[in-house]
Amino acid sequence: MSSPPPIDIHVHLVGNGTGHTGCELHPRGWRQPLDMLMLKCMGLPLSALKGDLDRLYRERLLQLVRESSLAAAVILPHERAYDEQGRVIKNHTPLYVPNDYALKLGRKHPEFLPAVSIHPARPDAMEELERCLEGGAVLYKCLPNSQNIDCNNRRYTRFWERVAEAGLPMLAHTAGEHTVPVIRPDLGNPRVLERPLQCGVTVIAAHAATKSGLFDPDYFHFLVEMMNRHPRLYADISAFNIPIRGQHIPECLRGSLSERLVHGSDFPVPIFGHWSWARGLVDWKSFRRWEQHPNPLERDYQLKRAMGFPDAVFNRIHSILRKSACESNRQQRTSHASIEN
Ligand SMILES: [Zn+2]
């Protein structure tokens, strides 16, 4: 029997609100060149930032998934930062992508699996969670240090219990963050995830708690220690193709750790194979072949395969994502189609 097709679980949605998507983008200061670099790596014109970005971005993303080896990509909305009283922290959200936008795209395209992002301090957090479950959410996404979510706060217990009960896995950013502003750097520590794990949530630590900036704390070994205690704790290998994050790849490839890893790219974060080649993780021939590949999703997938990540890392997520009503309809449609063909 052939193994299930690969899925990328870490693909960001971006938009400036054109076409009534509800998205917001406020590029500021030193982050502006970073936004421009991301557009360039996607093959989009820089004018898209102020133009019809939402449509251009989603059409390009759809094309990239279709032209890759991937069966689908989990698309991530982006929640606002809130204080513990449930008030939006103004000027701390350069990017906002509503849940409805991801859910709508998920219903429209089988290549897109919708995640949702809800700050648990929001006064309507429970209602929004129910609405998103109804709408077909397959994953819950958050950035504790940037969105000011202390997941260990006991006030959020009911929220995590409902997430667990619904079978919705959680993808949480861990370690340093440099594409959106950070409010609480200490919440980059994977230990912030203890409470959801105790409530029974299946948690995926994004970037495996590796550092992204030179001066970030390195939480990787904290995460490994937690994985030994929590069988429901996984990690994704997203953004491993940027300079510093790939530092712990040799440990990820060894032993039982690779049995708890899942694949994600962190698209549109740029993907470069140079660092893995320089570290001797990818041979020259594979590096040359995939570094020049025009599709960044395929480039990231193939470079990680060339590093030696086993097939299971790329398809393990099939058994972790929530099977929403939309997803089972989709699977039925696919199996009917294959019977008819
Ligand atoms: Zn990300």
233-248 tens-digit pLDDT: 999 999 888 777 778 8
Ranking 41-45, 176-180, 284-288, 306-310 by mean pLDDT, the lowest is 176-180
What is the model's pLDDT at position 30? Answer: 55
Output the CA torsion sign for 116, 117, 120, 122: negative
The tokens 């009283």 sit on which residue? 85
Q: Inform me whether the pLDDT recorded for 175 exceeds 90.
A: no
Tell me, what CATH number does 180's domain have? Answer: 3.20.20.140
Can you name the residues that pair with 140 across neighbouring β-strands? 116, 170
| Cβ contact 127:86 at 8 Å | no
Angle at 149 (CA atoms; ends 74, 167), nearest 5 degrees: 45
- Helical residues (DSSP H) of the chain, grouped into ranges: 31-42, 53-66, 99-108, 125-134, 144-147, 157-165, 194-198, 220-229, 249-253, 274-278, 284-291, 296-307, 311-315, 325-340
327 belongs to a structural domain: yes
β pairing state of 95-96 and 24-25: antiparallel
**Structural domain includes residue 239:** yes
178 CA distance to ligand 1 middle (Å): 10
Measure CA 244 to chain center. Answer: 18
Rounded to the nearest angstrom, the distance between the alpha carbon of 323 and the centre of ligand 1 is: 23
How far does residue 10's CA lie from ligand 1's centre (Å)? 6
In a domain, 2, yes or no: no
Confidence of residue 42 (pLDDT cuts 50, 70, 90): confident
Cα 159 to averaged position of ligand 1 atoms, centre (Å): 22
Residue 336 has pLDDT above 50, yes or no: no
Ligand 1 geometric centre to CA of 333 (Å): 31
Neighbours of 26 (CB within 10 A): 11
Residue 231 falls within a domain, yes or no? yes
State the pLDDT at residue 241: 82
pTM (two decimals): 0.91
How far away, in angstroms, is 324 Cα from ligand 1 center? 23
How many distinct structural domains can be found in the chain?
1
Helix (H) or strand (E) holding 236: strand 233-236
Q: How far is the CA of 143 from the centre of ligand 1 (A)?
A: 9
Whether 75 is in a domain gets the answer yes
Q: How far is CA 64 from CA 6, 80, 233, 310, in A?
A: 14, 28, 30, 23
Query: What distance in angstroms lies between residue 164's CA and the mean position of ligand 1's atoms?
Result: 22
In a domain, 224, yes or no: yes
The Å distance, Cα 332 to ligand 1 centre, comes to 31
How many CB atoms sit inside 10 A of residue 249's CB? 23
Query: Quick one: pLDDT at residue 13?
Result: 95
Q: Establish if 1 belongs to a structural domain.
A: no
pLDDT band at 341 (very low <50, low <70, confident <90, very high): very low
Region 91-120: mean pLDDT is 94
Residue 116 in this model has a pLDDT that exceeds 80: yes
pLDDT tens per residue, range 62-98: 999 999 999 999 999 999 999 999 999 987 778 899 9
The DSSP secondary-structure symbol of 118 reads -
CA–centroid distance, residue 325 to ligand 1 (Å): 26
Cα 73 from chain centroid?
9
What is the C-alpha radius of gyration for the chain, rounded to an integer number of angstroms?
Answer: 19
Cα 164 to Cα 162: distance, rounded to the nearest angstrom = 5
Domain hosting 249: range is: 7-340
pLDDT at 231 exceeding the cut of 80: yes
pLDDT band at 332 (very low <50, low <70, confident <90, very high): low
Q: What's the chain's average pLDDT? A: 89
Instruction: Tell me whether residue 184 is in a domain.
Output: yes
Q: What is the mean pLDDT of residues 261-268?
A: 95
Ligand 1 centroid, distance to 200 Cα (angstroms): 24
Residue 166 CA to ligand 1 centre (angstroms): 23
